[in-house]
Amino acid sequence: MVARLLAAVSILLILYAVAVPAPEAPMQTLPGTEPLTLEGDLAARMVAGIKGFLLDQTRAAPERRGEPNREHLRKIIGAVGPRPQPVEMELVGATDAPALVGKGKGYEVYVVRSRTLDGVNGEGLLLRPTGTPKARVIALPDCDRTPEMLAGLTEGVPAESQFARRLVESGCEVIVPTLVDRKDTFSGNPAVRYTNQPHREFVYRMAFEMGRHVIGCEVEKVLAAVDWCDEQPDDLPVGVIGYGEGGLIAFYSAAVDERIDAACVSGYFQPREDLYLEPIYRNVFGLLKEFGDAGIASLIAPRPLVIEACRTPEVDGPPPVREGRVGGAAPGVLETPALESVKGEFGRAKATYEKLDAAKAIQLVASGEGQGPCGSSEALAAFLKRLAGAELAAEGPAPQVVAPLPDPDQRMKRQLEELCEYTQELLRRSGKVRAERFANADRSSPEAWAKAMEEQRRFFAEEVIGSLPPASLPANARTRLAYDEPKWRGYEVVLDVWPSGARESPPSGAGFQPAAVIAYGILLLPKDLQPGERRPVVVCQHGLEGRPQDTIAPPDNPYSAFSVSLVERGFIVYAPQNPYIGMDDFRVLQRLANPLGKTLFSIIVRQHERTLQWLSEQPFVDPSRIGFYGISYGGKTAMRVPALLPQYCLSICSADFNEWVLKNASYEDTFSYVYTGEYEIFEWDLGHTFNYAEMAYLIAPRPFMVERGHTDGVGIDEWVAYEYAKVRRLYAELGIPDQTEIEFLAGGHMIFGKGTFDFLHKHLNWPKR
């Protein structure tokens, strides 16, 4: 009986299987695309491809350079003054500590100070011969050496490298400024915290955001000394000489100021294409786009220039993190270059001198085959002869200390505090500078405003973000099914952007181009999408160290699975992979991009442009209804990419909108990037050009929204509200106040998906479900 029953059931099941067709298998690849067969970490592959591309751009930079421009060099190093006039060289002393601190054979040594910039003083020594001087020289030690070491008053520099002392013994009046050093003793604020950043990096971070630089500030100190020399009645020739970081400052000073009659650069001259590997306080935005070291030398030509190849200061990274300090200093090394590489760059510089019939004005001196100490007699003799027709005197006895010397630590503390306060004052005044940029823009209608923003958008693209050419490769779209859920399917998408110099050996696969910068993401399609139907798209952007998959994962992270929530509401969703992943692997991209006058967002903008092109070609997408919604670093993207790509019809910034310039440049606030590990975050002169309100001005009159959690540690509500108020006022002036919103919610750094979802339904014209 049981056997008959089982047989009957089996027959019924067979008949049912024949009668009911199996569910249709999902497409493994989207129509019009090739199969995606790449395996492994596609985000890491993207970052590697971008690095290869930027290395290619760096190698090609020398061939693309035009005529070097002296004023542009001043601008990019932040040596833009103004300096007080006239300059007074003040003797610094007291009854118990006279200004005269040393005496040598035929000269005296004084402690001096002069005003350089608003609130910034140059401090150091003046070595004055007792007879009539033959020339005046500003002598710059490496930043880890004090003026007293270079004068022979204290230990720390071998006698043969005390070039300030050798020059005064030879009849020159010598000014020796103090440079900000590489220690971290005072890097911080006692009211906030201390960091392991070298002093130079600590100044660099806040200054870079304000269009200034530790390099430029120290060049200004040299030029203030040149101002003083110029004011003297005897019309003596003026020269500069420096070693290591002092060589850099001397080199740039001579390049930007033609009053300097001759220069000697020791331990700083070589091919500069590896600038991205050097300490970040040498990072100059746009330097390699226009200048290599030979290009800097061309600005000195035909004036005399002596290059000394010698053992350079060697740095293997920032100071270690000590107790009571936070880490986060940028990596960076300094190594002595091979003599052959110095000779190669020197040859390029000499070619310029030869064209000017000044070949004898430039000379290369190799101390110990490029590995010897700085300040060799040969280099000093060559410099003196070209500067003043003078001979180098024989080395005399060491000078005697005749009064207490300045405390080098307290002097360094003053120097650092003055530069920090200088940048903070620029920060405090910057809002008025930015407002002036937009003061005369036509607010008579949304259309008039959009037209007025075209030039501002061009400036933002070219001068702030840095514009790269559009994608040069065919998109070569490759896709594969990655998700098959009850209400939607998800496809990984890879698109080509540019060729890349990456020389990795990835797995082979159909349609894969091994040396290409790619755009990668995940496309989510609702299953109820009908043939011929075109729907709006929401581009959902992850944050720092994130992935598209994070926006899809279960809602127990800051993303709250917002890609899934939106696709289940009927939107098409695209979640791109942005390249800010891999810690130092991605931060080095910013280091590579900056000397080319580019940024990480130079890459991201073109990746999104390629993605928008591809999405717009899809038969299920309405190209006029593509909105952007990004969190955290994706919120940074929400402020920059839609500002530059008008095809994004709206933008939502979550967990990032801020008084952004203040967050980057303030050293008085705990959540400032001045103190964190995001050393790539700083954007050149953003403080005087575009804060987040001004970026939103470029988005207007398109809809714009801010999502803010009260306890989000990226900032405070007051900052956010202050910056957003400027945006709200603009939209009101344009007669479209309903096109912008801000939502404050109880919570932290996360997607809330409440008012923002309503905003998307409203402005993408998609009904709620």
SS (HEC) of 201-242: HHHHHHHHHCCCCHHHHHHHHHHHHHHHHHHCCCCCCEEEEE
**DSSP state letter for 461:** I
Residue type, 769: R
100: phi then psi, degrees, rounded to nearest 5: -75, 110
Q: What is the pLDDT of residue 66?
A: 86
Unique residue bearing structure tokens 């600590």: 202
3-class state of residue 146 by DSSP: coil
pLDDT of residue 283: 98
Report the alpha-carbon distance of residue 685 to residue 680 in Å, rounded.
14
Burial of 461 (0-12, 13-18, 19+ CB in 10 A): buried
Q: Do 525 and 621 meet the contact criterion of CB atoms below 8 Å apart?
A: no
What string of DSSP letters covers 342-402?
HHHHHHHHHHHHHHTT-GGGEEEEETTTTTS-SS-HHHHHHHHHHHHSPPPPPP-PPPEE-
- CB 251 within 8 Å of CB 268: yes
Bridge partner list, 484: 489
Greatest pairwise CA separation for the chain in angstroms: 130
Reference 172, options 141, 131, 142, 124; nearest CA is 131
Determine the Cα–Cα distance for residues 525 and 544; give it in Å rounded to an integer. Answer: 25
Calpha distance 522→43 (Å, rounded): 12
Averaged in consecutive runs of 10 residues, what is the pLDDT profile of the chain (769 residues)? 46 40 75 96 96 95 90 97 91 88 97 96 97 97 98 97 98 98 97 96 98 98 97 96 98 98 98 98 97 97 98 96 95 98 98 97 98 98 98 96 97 98 98 97 98 98 97 97 98 96 44 71 98 97 98 93 98 98 96 98 98 98 98 98 98 98 95 95 98 98 98 96 98 98 97 98 95
Inter-residue contact 42 to 50 (CB < 8 Å): no
What's the sign of the alpha-carbon dihedral 619, 480, 603, 694?
A: positive
Residue 89: predicted pLDDT: 92
Tokens for 277? 């590997």
Q: Which two tokens stand for residue 470?
A: 């559009």
**DSSP of 289-349, one letter per residue?**
HH--HHHHHHHHTTS-EEEEE-PPP-B-SSPPPPTT-B--PPP--B-PPPHHHHHHHHHHH
303 within 8 A of 259, measured Cβ to Cβ? no
Q: Is 66 exposed, middle or buried (0-12, 13-18, 19+ CB in 10 A)?
A: exposed
C-beta neighbour count of 718 within 10 angstroms? 9
- Listed in sequence order, the residues at least 6 apart from 21 whose beta carbon sits closer than 8 Å to its beta carbon are none
Q: What is the distance between the alpha carbons of residues 330 and 348, in angstroms, rounded to a whole number?
A: 31
Contact partners, residue 658, CB within 8 Å, separation at least 6: 692, 714, 715, 719, 720, 723
Phi, psi of 478 (to 5 degrees): -125, 135
**Neighbouring-strand partners of residue 125:** 111, 176
Closest by CA to 39, choosing from 342, 608, 482, is: 482
- Cis ω on the peptide bond leading into residue 302 (within 30° of 0)? yes
Handedness of CA 68, 70, 72, 76 (dihedral sign): positive
pTM of the predicted model as reported, rounded to 2 decimal places: 0.94
Q: Which residues contact 126 (CB under 8 A, 6 or more apart)?
A: 89, 91, 109, 110, 111, 112, 173, 174, 175, 176
Whether the Cβ atoms of residue 294 and residue 280 lie closer than 8 Å to each other: no
* CA end-to-end span of the chain: 53
Question: Do residues 167 and 145 lie in contact, with contact meaning Cβ atoms separated by under 8 Å?
Answer: no
What is the rounded CA–CA span in Å between residue 544 and residue 587? 11
H/E stretch holding 518 reads: strand 516-526
